[in-house]
Amino acid sequence: MDWARVPSFVLMGAGALLVVGFVLAHVGLLPLTADFGDERDLRVTDCSGTEKGQLTVGVADTFAERYVGLSRTESLAEGEGLLFVYDEEGSTNIGMRNMDFPLDVVFVSAAGEITRIETLDAPDSPVEYYLTYDSTSGPGRFVVETTAGWADSHGA
C-alpha cells in the first residue's frame, strides 16, 4: 500500500460523503426538520393602517431553519405560517421542496411593505416532490409562507 496516497483518499471520501449528504438533504431523503420555537403574531395592514389580517408564524432566522422551512409539513391551519428573517434586504429565493400543499409566498421589505406575492403549487408527482420543485424570488428582508389563497382572501 502506498501510504503517501492515503490522505488524498480520505479527502476524496470525505468530499464524496458531503456531496451525497447534501443531495440527500436537498431531495428530502434525510429526515431534517427545523424547530421554530419562537412564535409571533403578525398583523397585515394597508397603507392607511386598516388591518387586513393576522398570522401566527414560526420564525426561521438561521440558515438551517430557512433551508428546511416548511418542508415535510403536512398542513398549516388557516392563519398560520412561517416568517423567514434575513440579515439584510435583497433578492431572496424560496424553494418549495417536499411540500404536500400549495403556499402563498409574501416578500416583505425591511420597512414592512409587501413587495411581491406569489402562490406556489404543490407537486403533482413524486419526481416533483423529491427532485424538482417550484421556486420564486423577490425583493425583501422578510418572507412569509402561509396557506395558498390567504393573501387574496385578506386583500394583501
What tens digit of pLDDT does each residue of 68-110 get? 888 878 888 989 999 999 999 999 988 887 888 899 999 999 9
- Do 62 and 112 belong together in one domain? yes
- Do 59 and 100 belong together in one domain? yes
pLDDT tens per residue across span 18-54: 555 555 454 454 444 556 667 889 898 888 889 999 9
- Do 57 and 78 belong together in one domain? yes
Dist CA 80 CA 101 (whole Å): 14
Dist CA 102 CA 79 (whole Å): 14
| Strand locations in the chain (E) | 39-45, 51-60, 80-95, 103-108, 114-120, 135-147
Three-class SS of residue 156? coil
DSSP 122: P
Q: Which residues contact 32 (CB under 8 A, 6 or more apart)?
A: 25, 68, 71
Q: What is the mean pLDDT of residues 139-156?
A: 92
Number of domains in the chain: 2
pLDDT score at 74: 84
- Do 21 and 91 belong together in one domain? no
Residue matched to cell numbers 496516497: 5
The CATH number of the domain holding residue 85 is: 2.60.120.1140
- Give φ, ψ of 56 to 5 degrees: -100, 120
Dist CA 62 CA 67 (whole Å): 9
pLDDT score at 29: 47
Q: Calculate the CA 7 to chain-centre distance.
A: 38
Residues shown for the chain: 156
Does residue 133 have a pLDDT over 50? yes
**pTM, to two decimals:** 0.75
pLDDT score at 30: 46
Domain that holds residue 12: 1-30
Three-class SS of residue 31? coil
DSSP 100: S
pLDDT score at 22: 52
- Do 10 and 61 belong together in one domain? no
- Do 72 and 3 belong together in one domain? no
Cell of 131: 427532485
